[in-house]
Amino acid sequence: MNIKRVTEKEFAAWVDALTPKHTLYAPQAKEDRFAFDRLTAGEDLRLDYDVSILPPKKYFLPQKEVLIKFDRKGNFESVIAHEPFVLFGVHPYDFVAMDQLNTIFEQDNYDVHYMARKEAATVVVSDVQVASADVFAGCMGNATVEDRDGYDVLLTRLDDGSYVVETRSEKGEVLTGLLSSAVDADEVTLQQREQVWNRTREQLQKHKLEMTPEQIPALLDKSYDHPLWAEKAELCHSCGSCNLVCPTCYCFTVEDELNWDMETGQRYRQWDGCMLTGFATVTGNHNFRDKKEARYRHRYYRKGKYVWDMIGEIACVGCGRCISACTTNIANPVEVFNQLSEEQQ
Amino acid sequence: MMSATELSQVRDIYLPQKATVTEIYSMTETEKFFRFHLEEGEAFDYMPGQFMEVSVPGFGEAPISISSSPTRVDKTTFEMVIRKAGNVTTALHALVPGEPVGLRGPYGTHFPVEDAMKGKDVVFVCGGIGLVPVRSAIHYVLDNRDQYGEVTILSGTRSPEDRLFTEELYEWKTRSDITFLETVDKADARWGGTVGVITTLLKRIQINPANTVVIVCGPPIMYKFVLLELRKLNVDNSQIYVSLERHMRCAVGKCGHCQINGLYACQKGAVFNYADIVDVKEAI
């Protein structure tokens, strides 16, 4: 729609102008790391974050979310979120993950709870300024998202501290309209942005995938009985940390809770994880995935094949959070896929 | 993009409809029979083999097979047999007629009573509470008896006390237009019938494999033995339908709990054609 070049000063003033007018969620320092949280003062914004502890998908699929209110007389009523908000500063790989979830929750049984949040959101993507220790989005084709649709504004910081602000939708224009005094990006600016993108794609490869992402499903097709699953899983504590930090994990459980009056209550969903011991257990205590290696393998098949079969995308975007989160150092998808590939040859 | 008003018009896939328990009685020590009646709203079109999510407000929701047949009750009435095992089923067991529940569904695939089974000999193989969903298909077939060939029902339970629908079992046993055989794993002093696992019965029947459709439903352990026996009887995999139990938490293909490798059992099952899943490693 339009692309502006905004000086560092103008950019800060813009964020300051946005915070009182909109509900903004943005990356901020949290002790020595970063987290998405409500932004109330522009100075707290940290677009130089390397990676957030939890992915911003938590605003579309909250850790705990009420779906339904009920009473004991059997009346059920949907609870659907409508408050508009701005997700500000989402990294490209995290946007790709959210875009995948958007498809999954929209297709084959429209999930109105998820979709209401998604529709209420304005998504401002910010290109990565500082690479995290384990990021490999560059190998997964998700270091930048200029070719992808579905977000509203794209921010790219140039070397002189100014920002290229690209408005991609009418929703985005509501935010960037405040920048009308900024200059339009010229050819030189666009070239500079291109250079930043090229550099980012190179830098976000802290682990090197020895194949193209599109080769992963076929690789997994022939790796089901590979000894790697058991070898790696031997060290697994089934703690679910890799699930918890993953931007494409969306499995959940549903529970009821009663209020103090013991008459009314709510049904909520909360995040669950396929690495947790009882995830596939049915009533009567039969666990259909009782071995650690079966759970471990299942997670990689979901990332590299099952979701691919559903939506045609690899459900590992290369954020590297699982690598950092795993306490026994077995959760590196690049290592898993490379090793499977080597030993196939 | 949808507006807030438009979104509020969208059906919430998680929203149950209010229903009432109209009948409840004990069938065994752990199983109770329930009849639910939908209070208002739309009737649910269902087929044998499908399941519903049953809510007890405050306790949660559980996936339960429908045991009644649409040929015998109207589409606002559902019969189920529920084993007391977890939170929700324990709460269900504590209900009395007149109390409310929530129903959501029906979900999943169904037994092919209207297509693959039509005109064919049909063998039902039920282990334990596997009889509960299969009863729906048995009623359906018996109510359209002339549309099917030979009908054979094989039923096995752990002990005589675990037998469900005993009056119906007696009726099936005494009917001349069907073959009914049953066995128990472990007999008591009064049991005069067959003793042994369900495959014992499969060894006793004679079938025309080319013209036979087999329906299998039982505990997870049962399938591989029954399928082995069916191979000996030369039944083609494509003539076998299995109903697989998994934890269908959401029943709409999202929550992930029921996945069998890449398949969501709540969407692609619970009734599968065996030929379709013979290579799906987590299935059987």
Contacts with A128 (C-beta within 8 Å, 6 or more apart), sequence order? A50, A91, A92, A135, A137, A143, A200, A203, A204
Is there a domain that residue B153 lies in? yes
Is there a domain that residue B111 lies in? no
Claim to verify: residue B186 and residue B230 sit in the same structural domain: yes
Claim to verify: residue B238 and residue B136 sit in the same structural domain: yes
Contacts with A219 (C-beta within 8 Å, 6 or more apart), sequence order? A211, A304, A337, A340, A341, A344
Q: Tell whether B259 lies on the interface with A, counting CB pairs under 8 A.
A: yes
Q: How many domains does chain B have?
A: 2
Percent of chain A with pLDDT over 90: 96
CB B183 within 8 A of CB B196: yes
Pairs of CB atoms within 8 A across A/B: 151
d(CA A116, CA A35): 23
Claim to verify: residue B194 and residue B132 sit in the same structural domain: yes
Is there a domain that residue B263 lies in? no
Q: Tell whether A254 lies on the interface with B, counting CB pairs under 8 A.
A: yes
Query: Which residues on chain B are in Cβ contact (under 8 Å) with A282?
Result: 245-247
Which tokens is A239 given?
Answer: 């703690």
- CATH code, domain with B140: 3.40.50.80
List the domains of chain A with CATH numbers. 2-203 (3.40.640), 213-344 (no CATH)
The pLDDT tens digits of the residues spanning A183-221 come to 999 999 999 999 999 999 999 999 999 999 999 999 999
- Which of A113, A254, A272 is facing B61, going by the closest CB pair? A254
**Average pLDDT of span B28-35:** 96
Claim to verify: residue B233 and residue B126 sit in the same structural domain: yes
Q: Tell whether B256 lies on the interface with A, counting CB pairs under 8 A.
A: yes
The pLDDT tens digits of the residues spanning B244-283 come to 999 999 999 999 999 999 999 999 999 999 999 999 999 9
Strands B151-157 and B179-184: parallel
Is there a domain that residue B98 lies in? yes
Is there a domain that residue B130 lies in? yes
Is there a domain that residue B4 lies in? no
Structural domain for B163, as ranges: 121-243
**Average pLDDT of span A260-286:** 95
> What is residue A345's predicted lDDT score, i.e. its pLDDT?
53
The pLDDT tens digits of the residues spanning A79-101 come to 998 899 999 999 999 999 999 99
Is there a domain that residue B45 lies in? yes
Is there a domain that residue B253 lies in? no
Claim to verify: residue B161 and residue B206 sit in the same structural domain: yes
- Is residue B44's pLDDT more than 90? no
Handedness of CA A264, A270, A273, A276 (dihedral sign): negative
CB contact under 8 A, A255 and B60: yes
